[in-house]
Amino acid sequence: MRRIYLLFLIALIAAFTANNSYSQCKGFAKKICKLELIPYIHDGNYHAAILTEGEEAELYKTFYSGQDYRIAICGTDALPEIEFQVIDAYKNVLYDNRDHNKSRIWDFKLESSQQLKIAVKVPVSGEQNEYPASGCVAIMFGFKEAK
């Protein structure tokens, strides 16, 4: 019985810690990253996760033709500059921030509506540390109001 109680307690602590980390990451996205969208209007969604050096994440989102969009990527100060690519359904790279001085934002307009993949990567820094850096990475989307 004591063993079951101990396992339950460990599971509860792990769930609380994971939820608390996500909440802090979402708060980072709201307070810091959302500002990167100005003057675009935030789409209302917060896409954020804790990533460690060397990790990658992907997000799929539908974009509509004729609409002006902004993608903003940001990470906590502990992380190296985040790399990101925007890729279409045919695996064509539409944008790679490594070709643009690792810019954190990309403004664009599509000729046709389509679903795009946003791939983010936290590169491994050149520093030799005992543990790799870890922190929040957020992907934010904004659009311009139709005139």
CA 90 to CA 112: how far, in whole Å?
14
In CATH, what number is assigned to the domain containing residue 18? Answer: 2.60.120.380
Q: How many structural domains compose the chain?
A: 1
**Using one digit for the tens of pLDDT, what is the confidence trace for 97-142?**
999 999 999 999 999 999 999 999 999 987 777 788 999 999 999 9
**5-9, 18-22, 60-64: the lowest-pLDDT one:** 5-9
> How many CB atoms within 10 Å of residue 51?
22
**Using one digit for the tens of pLDDT, what is the confidence trace for 64-106?**
999 999 999 999 998 999 999 999 999 999 999 999 999 999 9
Domain that holds residue 41: 2-143
Rg of the chain taking only CA atoms, in angstroms: 18
Q: Is 126 exposed, middle or buried (0-12, 13-18, 19+ CB in 10 A)?
A: exposed
pLDDT > 90 fraction of the chain, expressed in percent and rounded: 70
For residue 10, pLDDT over 60 is answered with no
For residue 16, pLDDT over 90 is answered with no
